Every structure is written in structure tokens, then in C-alpha cells.
Amino acid sequence: MRKVRNLLVSVVLAAGIGLSIGAAPANADTLRNVYYYDWDCRRVGDLGITSGWWTSYSCVPQYNFWFLYA
């Protein structure tokens, strides 16, 4: 019974890892930085576009911070 349980746990863990690896889309945005203010996040996002660091960005509010994804 112990061998069966160990085998079952191994299969479940392998399946979970396999599903989590394939879950992210290929063109997912990368977290670039975290800011206290929305205007600062947008300023750096615009700077990144004009400097050619990225082609688009988004500032997402979470936990009283602004997360810059590009």
C-alpha cells in the first residue's frame, strides 16, 4: 500500500508541475518595476516606449502599489 501511495503522489506532483509550466502564454508581459504612484508608473512606461525598451506597457494597481508590466 505504501508503494502505491508513493507512486500516486509522484504522478500527481508530476502532472501538477507539467500543467503549471505550460500555463503561461508565450507573449506574457514581464514585471518591470513597482511604483508608489500611478503617474510615476506611466512616466517610466512612456520612457520605455520612447527609448525602445518595449513596445507597450500597462500599469496595474495592486496592494496600494502600481506594477509596471511591459
Which of the 8 DSSP states describes residue 63?
T
User: Residue 68: what are its φ and ψ, rounded to 5°?
Assistant: -95, 115
pLDDT tens digits, one per residue of 9-38: 555 455 554 444 555 455 578 999 999 999
In this structure, what C-alpha cell is assigned to residue 5? 501511495
pLDDT tens digits, one per residue of 46-66: 999 999 999 999 999 999 999
pLDDT of residue 2: 66
Q: Is residue 31 within 8 Å of 67, Cβ to Cβ?
A: yes
Domain limits of the chain? 2-69
